[in-house]
Structure formats: structure tokens, C-alpha cells
Amino acid sequence: MKLKMKRITILAITLSVILIQTSPGSSICSDVEVPSDTEQDHPYTNAEMSQWFFAETDNPKALVLVIHGLNQKPSKWKEMISFLNSIDMHVYRLTLKGHGGAPFEDMETITADAWRDDFINGYCRIEYLFPELPKILLAYSTGALVAIEYQQAHHTSLFDKQILLAPAISLRFYVYLIKPFTSVYSYIPSGSPEAYRANQKGTSMAAYQALFDLLKDFDGQIDRQLLDTETIILTSPKDELVSLKGIRDMLQQNQTNKWAVMPIQIEESTLTPAYYHLIIDSASLGDSGWKLMTKKIKDFIDLDQ
């Protein structure tokens, strides 16, 4: 009953704040009209759409914005979200366009701007509803790129802390071999495990083009204000897509001591074959890897330290 009343309260607040034109906590939201409540906020209608997950506490420590990766089911973040709730964190899980369970054609109309709009709308939603809570970003792969590129482009830092899992801010050279074909084919098969795919048919070339557009605009340059935000980057040295060396070189070039890289070893993944880019749950990481990563995350976001 307590959780049900909490959901009703949040939905009621949302209906009232959509009329507010300025953000109480962040000036970047002053021109953003938070969308009214739709089915995406109700987990009983579509498990893949954006939705809230509330910790069973009256005194949450922070609010975490979770963003999934390219052609990844947002619902596969269930284990991570349960962990965050268990340490008294409210969670808003954001779904990017093309990943909400709609027909594949929705993924064929993706643009970088559409993802930018998804990000800032999601951020402003949590800012409007919980202006007093610390904001933490936990984003994976392409989701991490979207969040970092948006902040970089607007010369701002929106979060108190950031956790980037295998962030697509520096890719291995062969990923770019796809680029010449984005205008030739409509999609390519996905290499990720089938159970994690948002679209079984494959990943649209429009989505890859949006990824490359974001990378081009980001260009490895990180604004000083963003560099001053405490950030950890967790990724496997064996990651098939993300270049750990490229990330380290980028951070060295930008001269920051607030961003830390923490390699994650995957030894006991239950996925066959192992997919080292995927580091979001115990199945992909193995029990020991999962315990290690969640400990690193808990220690990092401990606001009592």
C-alpha cells in the first residue's frame, strides 16, 4: 500500500509540474516542457518504456538516472535497478527512441537529436520531481555517450556523480568500418546476446548514424565543468567495441583527476559465448564480477563519506 500511494503521489506531482516553465534546480530545464504522463510511466503497460523504480524508504539518498545501450532491452536492467533500490536510491530508467518495444520501423527513424531530446526530457523530469535529491548518472555504452555529449555541447554538468559502463566515447577502429554502409543498408544483425536485444531483427543503420554523429560532435573534448564532476568508468579490457586505451588517452589529454577508469575482469560470465562489452548484470559479469562491480558502484556513490 505504501508503494502504491508513493506511485500515485509521484504521478499527481508530474501532472502538476508539467505546467511549470522554469526548473527549480537547473536552468537548463527552463525551456524544456516535460511531457505529460503517458503509458510509458506505467510498468504494467510496457516493460520497455521509461519508468520509475522507487526504493522502499521515506528518505532516499539520491536519484539515479539509468540509460541503456544500443539495441538493448531497457528491462534487462532489472537486476541493477534492484541493487540501486536496495541501497536507498530512487531510479528513473530512461528509454531512448527505438528501444521501447515499438515495431522495428521506429528504430529506422532514429536521429542524434531525437536521443538528445530523450535525454534532456528524462533529466528534467527527475529534476522537476525531486529537485532536492542528489542526481547520479548511471549510463551504459551509447546511453553514456548521449548523456556526456549533451552536457558537453551545453557546457554544463547536470549530475553530482557519474557512473559510465563501457561508455561509447572512444571506439575500436573497426567499429567505424560500418560507417560507409549506413546509407546503403537499412540494418545489420546484432552481435549481442539475443535475450538482451531490443530489436531481434538487428540494429538499424539510422541508429549507427546517430551514434557516429554524436561521436563527431563530441570529438573527445570534455568541458572543464564536466571534468570536475566525480566520474568512474567501468569497462572490460577485452571489450569488443570500446577502446580502454582510447579512453585513458582522452582523459590524459583533458588532464582530469576527477574521472577514474576501473577495469572490470569478466571470468565467470554465463553467456555463451562471453560478450565482454556487456557488463550490466550477474549473467554477463559472472557472480564474482557482479559483486565486484556493485561494490565499486556502492562505494563510489556513498553520499555519507
For the stretch 147-194, pLDDT in tens is 999 999 999 999 999 999 999 999 999 999 999 999 999 999 999 999
In 3D space, the residue among 198, 140, 196 whose CA is nearest the CA of residue 169 turns out to be 140
In 3D space, the residue among 65, 53, 38 whose CA is nearest the CA of residue 128 turns out to be 65
Q: What is the overall mean pLDDT for the chain? A: 89
Q: Mean pLDDT throughout 267-271?
A: 88
pLDDT band for 7, please (50, 70, 90 cuts).
low
DSSP-derived 3-state class of residue 20: coil
DSSP-derived 3-state class of residue 170: coil
State the angle between helix axes of 112-129 and 142-153 in degrees (0 to 180), rounded to the nearest 10: 80
* CA atoms of 71 and 288, how far apart (whole Å): 26
Single pTM value for the model = 0.89
Give Cα 122 distance to the centre of its chain: 11
Output the nine-digit C-alpha cell for 53: 523504480
* CA atoms of 105 and 113, how far apart (whole Å): 17
DSSP state of 274: -
Whether residue 242 has pLDDT greater than 50: yes
* CA atoms of 277 and 158, how far apart (whole Å): 26
Output the nine-digit C-alpha cell for 214: 554524436
Give the dihedral of Cα atoms 192, 138, 79, 234; nearest 10 deg: 60
Q: Mean pLDDT throughout 264-285?
A: 92
Q: Is 236 left (phi over 0), alpha (psi -120 to 50) or beta?
A: beta
User: Which domains occur in the chain, in start order?
Assistant: 37-301 (3.40.50.1820)
